[in-house]
Structure 1
């Protein structure tokens, strides 16, 4: 067929001069027809002038379309041939990649295990995490004011300030309610260090509420005792009210000073779960135990009267412990089903904190079926924590 001598520009001009055919259907009807019908329906009645124009257009366009169709066919053949060649190359590359991935999988086991370990998060603070900072521990009543929960933080901007100054400054930054505990801080008192008498002066205003109710005053006295004992070696509290010596408390009466109990150790650490939380605090018992073995047995049982849960995971099956040169050596049972998960990690930390109560500084685990619990390498000695329950307040 003879190639059309009409140029593209001439064809466009001819089409513009043809009469317009309007479609009065709703656009949604058109879309529905296109979506449902597979074949295009050709109307059999058209205005005479439209039919003539269409026939004329057909005669003009056919030669040009045929020529373009031949060119498109040739291009399609060339494209198909190129795609087949490329596909073969890609298949070869894919096979090489699969083989390489298979080899890499064998060598990447350590990396995968390391990634899995990062999913378990330590609760306590350890020596290598402090740097040039300072660790402070606040004792906060639980929601029922039955026990005190130690919450620790790392302060990096202490400068030349005393621990007590920084401790008092950071009180307002505590988020007790957000942490599932009682809103207790900041204390309604001024704290002053008395180095000459190895004591802390606690000066309350005359309208303080710490003497209203046995729970309030007991929590107040216990919090002061534990706050000072955990953060210093001071052994005495001196009370003032508006600068005058003494404080009035309902059950305690008038108090001028109080000694800080020197024996704040030998407790067992159990789990305390705030309402709605799946992660526990590591919390010392109120009970004092005569030796580590007795405390270890206490870790296996709940203390419902204080809202505490057992902290010794069933998978951490210990059958022998010895303490020598401030190092605890413990052996696991041969059939121990030790698991590397968050609960076991917290259980191991509770074990280390309990051991620390009895003067232990390092722990060695023997015949463990696992090399790691979270970030702890059980094939090496592990240092006990500095303080429990890390929370960032800065």
Structure 2
């Protein structure tokens, strides 16, 4: 049988017909009737019982285990008095005494101990080799007859790399151009090997002779050749650089037109960075020409910057700052703030680059402050260091 459904109005009408129901009890009576049930609480365990039981259990375990553990160990390991320790030592040194319990080590412990000793030995040797290093690989202070400066372009032709060839006795009469090996050092083809240099330091001038058929294509080559000539003559006491062809005519240098003279390096400002090629482990100090006149402090900060030239890296690490740079006559004083050096070579690279840069700014020596003298045996940092005469020595005896 289908169940009948009612509308809301019909339900209201039906409910209205029911008799009225009332509960005449007051609110107070109702509360009193349920209050006993509300006041019933569960029995709780006293808060001190659980920790006490845990403590008792620990003490019981210790009382059982500790005597057994102590009895299995040598008595002198738990000796607290000096007399007992001395007695134990004397007993251990007696002939025939079994020392296995006190001196025996696990194989892993022996191996770790041996490895630690070897590591210490290697570290000390490494430090000794660094601190006993010979002269700087980037600079030479004194001139000798078998030295001759030269220049090659960088691998990408963007920078010039000046270096110093140290000839063997049997190479004294040979031209440097015949001795250089650009491909071995990560450098580009020699662009000035056909030029002849006549240097007269007494008259403070140099004559550069070009072949009559010499030609240059492109402004990039013109700039590189010009810079190569200037840096080739930089270590010498030369104030004037004259250019001419074999027949005595002016030299045509690309878009420079006819050129009779070139300015010396000192007429521009340079700072030094590090040149590294993937094909050679040899590194070079490389001069970077500033676009405008800059101060020595500006040059030091530029030496921390990344360059757009290929294979050129900052000579000053990022953790180094120069809070104070001052000059007194021909002495430059540089205060160095730094973190730890990754190697002694990193420090030497920076020092040599700063010295070479200071030399370009006309200083004769540099005093470094806040660098410990024992960091490198090549320089005494407690005294002013002379700026270098020659850069990037390449010894033909090697």
For the criterion TM > 0.5, the same-fold answer is: yes
- Among 349, 360, 363, the alignment partner of 1:360 is 363
Indicate how the Cα distance of structure 1 residues 275 and 247 shifts in structure 2: closer, same or farther if over 3 A, else same.
same
Contact 1:191-1:200 at 8 Å conserved across structures: yes
- Among 159, 162, 165, the alignment partner of 1:153 is 165
Q: Distance in 2 between matches of 1:312 and 1:123?
A: 16
Q: Distance in 1 between matches of 2:236 and 2:155?
A: 24
Q: In structure 2, what is the equivalent of residue 311 of structure 1? A: 315
- Displacement of 1:324 after TM fit? 1.5
Contact 2:157-2:224 at 8 Å conserved across structures: yes
- Displacement of 1:191 after TM fit? 3.8
Contact 2:243-2:251 at 8 Å conserved across structures: no
Q: In structure 1, what is the equivalent of residue 177 of structure 2? A: 171
- Structure 1: gaps spanning 5 or more residues: 1-108
Q: Distance in 1 between matches of 2:360 and 2:201?
A: 27
CA-to-aligned-CA distance 1:278-307 (integer Å, 9 cap, x gap): 553111111154221010110110111465
* Count of residues in Structure 1 that have an aligned counterpart in Structure 2: 275
- Among 113, 127, 136, the alignment partner of 2:148 is 136
Q: Distance in 2 between matches of 1:289 and 1:306?
A: 24
TM-score by length of 2: 0.58
- Among 107, 111, 122, the alignment partner of 2:136 is 122
Q: CA RMSD in A?
A: 3.6
Contact 1:198-1:236 at 8 Å conserved across structures: no
SS of the residue corresponding to residue 363 of structure 2 reads coil
Contact 1:272-1:281 at 8 Å conserved across structures: yes
Contact 2:231-2:265 at 8 Å conserved across structures: no
Q: Higher mean Cα deviation, 379-388 or 345-354?
A: 379-388
- Aligned residue runs from structure 1 range 279-318, under 5 A: 279-287=282-290, 289-305=293-309, 307-318=311-322
Q: In structure 1, what is the equivalent of residue 195 of structure 2? A: 189
CA-to-aligned-CA distance 1:195-251 (integer Å, 9 cap, x gap): 99865444433443x32333333322332233234334141323114x242334442
Contact 1:364-1:382 at 8 Å conserved across structures: yes
Contact 2:273-2:314 at 8 Å conserved across structures: yes
- Structure 2: gaps spanning 5 or more residues: 1-122
Greater Cα radius of gyration, structure 1 or 2: 2
- Displacement of 1:369 after TM fit? 4.9
